């Protein structure tokens, strides 16, 4: 059996996210905190013979890191969907979000016992905007939890 090899879908994802990024974030009040302004830093690197993209993330508020995350992206064989597993310092077990491209926007959706989430990466020539919307059990509509605007950061030594 021939081993799978990265294809055009991998290149599309990797070319958009690989590298070091940082930027301002705005969080809404939620069950996890009061919200407010933050700074996000991300480092995305290709791993596992070009089949996955590994993401390291930290969020800083008031001069200290208050949240960390680790993501793993892969392209689902057969469907071409982007699957994204997210582990973070809150400790909830990860369930993959399923994503598809719509032009230069990568849209993900996920349902868990804690509710539903939509994630949106809007890519532009100078960076990307990332938005999270949540709908908790009993809520009728999704509401924005956070958004951030990120630019490539050559001086970001965060890993």
What is the spatial distance between Cα 76 and Cα 10, in angstroms, rounded to a whole number? 10
* Complete domains list, the chain, with CATH: 8-29+36-152 (2.40.128.20)
CA angle 80, 86, 90 (to 5 degrees): 165
Q: What is the pLDDT of residues 1-51, one digit of tens each?
A: 788 889 999 999 999 999 999 999 999 988 778 899 999 999 999 999 999
What is the spatial distance between Cα 1 and Cα 106, in angstroms, rounded to a whole number? 32
Contact status, residue 53 vs residue 46, Cβ threshold 8 Å: yes
Contact status, residue 43 vs residue 159, Cβ threshold 8 Å: yes
Q: What is the pLDDT of residues 124-134, one digit of tens each?
A: 988 999 999 99
What is the spatial distance between Cα 72 and Cα 155, in angstroms, rounded to a whole number? 23
Residue 158 confidence (pLDDT): 59
Q: Work out the pLDDT band at 157, boundaries 50, 70, 90.
A: low
% of the chain residues with pLDDT over 70 = 97
> Which two three-digit tokens encode residue 55?
């993401």
Q: Average model confidence (pLDDT) for the chain? A: 93
Mean pLDDT of 103-111: 96
Mean pLDDT of 102-120: 95
Residue 148: burial class (beta carbons within 10 Å; 0-12, 13-18, 19+): buried
């Amino acid at each position: 059996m021939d081993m799978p090899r990265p294809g055009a879908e991998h290149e599309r994802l990797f070319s958009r996210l690989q590298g070091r990024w940082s930027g301002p974030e705005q969080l809404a009040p939620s069950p996890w905190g009061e919200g407010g302004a933050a700074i996000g830093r991300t480092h995305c690197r290709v791993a596992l013979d070009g089949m996955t993209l590994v993401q390291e993330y930290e969020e800083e508020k008031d001069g200290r890191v208050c949240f960390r995350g680790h993501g793993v992206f892969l392209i689902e064989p057969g469907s071409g969907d982007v699957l994204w597993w997210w582990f973070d310092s809150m400790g909830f077990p990860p369930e993959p979000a399923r994503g598809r491209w719509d032009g230069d926007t990568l849209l993900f959706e996920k349902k868990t016992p804690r509710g539903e989430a939509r994630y949106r990466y809007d890519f532009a020539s100078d960076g990307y905007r990332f938005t999270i919307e949540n709908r908790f059990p009993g809520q009728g509509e999704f509401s924005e939890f956070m958004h951030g605007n990120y630019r490539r950061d050559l001086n970001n030594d965060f890993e």
